[in-house]
């Protein structure tokens, strides 16, 4: 009887399995954390679950399309994709409905989208196209260029919504990609200084942002006002203890914790699944980081490497920011936990990003196998054994585990 020695045959299978598990966990958690609110506002406990299932369906379509499309095509389509993204970011400021003082959603005939979420992925694609062209030509990476200007415009339009968290991701991930693509130390220092100064200015532009930063380390100092969400989040996490209260049993969703199914979905997850559930999610994102890094390392060209690195930074970076926010170690910002938080455009874009990542991995694996075959053929030509039997036996003998 043959026993499989590993769960998957390659990195792409691993990424697919991790995504499927996270999507299932997220869908269950969305229902568990929202059925009270859904019943109260829409007279049915399944309102948000139905919408999330639709989001998952659309996300799967986007995932398989991006999986099948050669990732190099996105570089060719970038002018059209960028134009549509810019147009949607402008339209959302003009005709988007105002919700809690912010305009972030663009209404379409049958659904609405959040253009800023799409801009996250577009900014990464633009940065990857520029950086890879400089790396391949052996030229120095410049901080000021046309792509940087366009990303800056998307950053400004998103900040105008206002949505500082998403705006920082649109600008911040390309900056990290630039820093990791061979930027000179002197320029890196200037880049960090300018970025920090920009964050300070953005925080000072809105008084509530400074208040959130002040209460980060002691949310109980203003537990009924600015620190309310953080206090309730920590209370939900702590009450889960080791095994959790049980699925659907968590009490914080009973109008105690605002945004229980969106930004603070992980707090409800911890309350109902405990320390064990939290560690499981941590391990999933850690595994995603490892396998995504392996895909980037084996990409066939600089564009694939840098694009894969950008997608890794986008997904895992958002996860880290959300987990720190929910855990009270970071100011409250509108950054969802990928796959776990409720949000249509965010989930669809994240699943599309995973499709692109797997396409990069598939092409990298094909190139690796081809190189191995060519090397074997060259070795066959150098041996006096016309059938390569002695060489084959030698390789099997030297194979690890034999």
Give me the residue spans of the domains in the chain: 11-396
Half-sphere exposure of 123 (CA within 13 A, CB side): 31
Beta-bridge partners for 107: 112
pLDDT score of 355: 98
Q: State yes or no: pLDDT of 146 exceeds 70.
A: yes
Q: Residue range 285-312: average pLDDT?
A: 96
Copy the structure tokens of residue 230: 């953080």
DSSP state of 256: T
Start-to-end CA span in the chain (Å): 18
User: What is the number of helices (H) and of strands (E) in the chain?
Assistant: 14, 2
pLDDT score of 158: 95
Q: In this predicted structure, which of 173-187, 262-276, 348-362 has the lowest mean pLDDT?
A: 173-187
Q: State yes or no: pLDDT of 181 exceeds 90.
A: no
Residues 6+ apart with CB under 8 A from 205: none
Which H or E run contains 335? none
| pTM of full prediction above 0.75 | yes
If you average pLDDT over every residue of the chain, what do you get?
A: 88
Peptide bond into 162 cis (omega under 30): yes
DSSP state of 184: -
pLDDT score of 402: 45
**Separation CA 165–CA 218 (nearest Å):** 21
Which percentage of the chain shows pLDDT scores above 90? 61
Q: Residue range 283-304: average pLDDT?
A: 96
Backbone angle region of 48, left / alpha / beta, with phi > 0 → left and psi within -120 to 50 → alpha: alpha
Per-residue pLDDT band at 334 (split at 50, 70, 90): confident
Per-residue pLDDT band at 389 (split at 50, 70, 90): low
Copy the structure tokens of residue 64: 């398989």
């Amino acid at each position: 009887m043959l026993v499989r020695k590993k769960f998957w045959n390659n990195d792409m299978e691993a990424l697919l399995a991790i995504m499927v598990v996270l999507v299932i966990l997220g869908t269950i958690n969305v229902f568990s954390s929202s059925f009270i609110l859904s019943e109260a506002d829409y007279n049915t406990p399944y309102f948000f679950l139905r919408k999330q299932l639709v989001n998952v369906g659309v996300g799967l379509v986007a995932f398989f399309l991006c999986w099948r499309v050669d990732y190099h095509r996105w570089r060719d389509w970038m002018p059209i994709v960028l134009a549509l993204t810019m147009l949607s970011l402008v339209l959302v400021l003009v005709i988007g409905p105002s919700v809690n003082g912010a305009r972030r959603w663009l209404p379409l005939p049958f659904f609405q989208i959040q253009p800023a979420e799409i801009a996250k992925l577009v900014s990464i694609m633009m940065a990857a196209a520029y950086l890879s062209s400089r790396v391949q030509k052996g030229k120095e990476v410049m901080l000021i260029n046309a792509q940087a200007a366009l990303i800056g415009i998307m950053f400004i339009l998103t900040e105008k919504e206002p949505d500082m968290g998403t705006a920082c991701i649109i600008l911040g991930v390309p900056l990290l990609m630039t820093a990791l693509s061979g930027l000179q130390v002197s320029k890196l220092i200037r880049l960090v200084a300018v970025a920090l100064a920009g964050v300070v200015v953005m925080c000072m532009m809105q008084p509530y942002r400074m208040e959130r930063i002040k209460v980060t380390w002691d949310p109980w100092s203003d537990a009924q006002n600015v620190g309310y969400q953080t206090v309730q989040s920590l209370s939900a996490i702590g009450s889960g203890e080791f095994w959790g209260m049980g699925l659907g049993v968590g009490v914080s969703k009973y109008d105690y914790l605002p945004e229980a199914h969106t930004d603070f979905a992980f707090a409800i997850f911890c309350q109902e699944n405990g320390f064990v559930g939290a560690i499981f999610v941590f391990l999933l994102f850690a595994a995603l980081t490892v396998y995504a890094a392996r895909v980037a390392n084996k990409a066939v060209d600089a564009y694939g490497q840098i694009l894969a690195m950008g997608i890794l930074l986008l997904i895992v970076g958002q996860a880290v920011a959300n987990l720190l926010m929910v855990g009270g170690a970071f100011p409250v910002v509108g950054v969802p936990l990928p796959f776990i938080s409720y949000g249509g455009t965010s989930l669809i874009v994240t699943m599309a990003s995973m499709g692109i990542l797997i396409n990069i991995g598939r092409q990298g694996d094909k190139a690796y196998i081809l190189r191995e075959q060519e090397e074997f053929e060259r070795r066959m030509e150098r041996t006096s054994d016309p059938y390569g039997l002695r060489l084959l036996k030698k390789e099997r003998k030297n194979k690890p585990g034999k």
